[in-house]
């Protein structure tokens, strides 16, 4: 039996396990939960998944979702444009 573990990797290199997979270009909050557009406020920390990598070990597959910080002007544009 193989277990799958999902993690987010923050820009500084820190990692956090999350209970679900996320997609490339998905916007997430600080804890890796997907955000829906339009954003309710521009005063939030928003990350975007830019890469997904996988590491297989005996009995476990780890899926790493690499995040990049979305700049404030881009967040404000997302809030206004939709």
State how far the Cα of 48 lies from the Cα of 29, in Å rounded to an integer.
Answer: 9
Quote the tokens at residue 52: 């997904």
The dihedral through the CA atoms of 82, 30, 46, 40 has a sign that is positive
Q: Where in the sequence is the domain holding 58, given as residue range(s)?
A: 3-81
Residue with tokens 């404030």: 72
Return the pLDDT at 71. Answer: 92
pLDDT exceeds 90 at position 73: no
Our count of domains for the chain comes to 1
The confidence score (pLDDT) of residue 80 equals 66
Render pLDDT for 5-58 as a digit per residue (tens, 0 to 9). Answer: 999 999 999 999 999 999 999 999 999 999 988 888 878 899 999 999 999 989
Token pair, residue 34, equals 């997907």
Report the SS3 class of residue 35: coil
């Amino acid at each position: 039996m193989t277990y799958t573990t999902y993690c987010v990797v923050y820009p500084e290199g820190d990692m956090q396990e999350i209970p679900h997979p996320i997609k490339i270009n998905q916007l997430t909050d600080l804890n890796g939960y997907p955000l829906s557009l339009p954003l309710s406020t521009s005063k939030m920390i928003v990350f975007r998944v830019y890469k997904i990598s996988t590491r297989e070990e005996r009995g476990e597959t780890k899926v790493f979702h690499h995040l990049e910080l979305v700049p404030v002007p881009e967040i404000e544009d997302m809030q206004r444009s939709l």
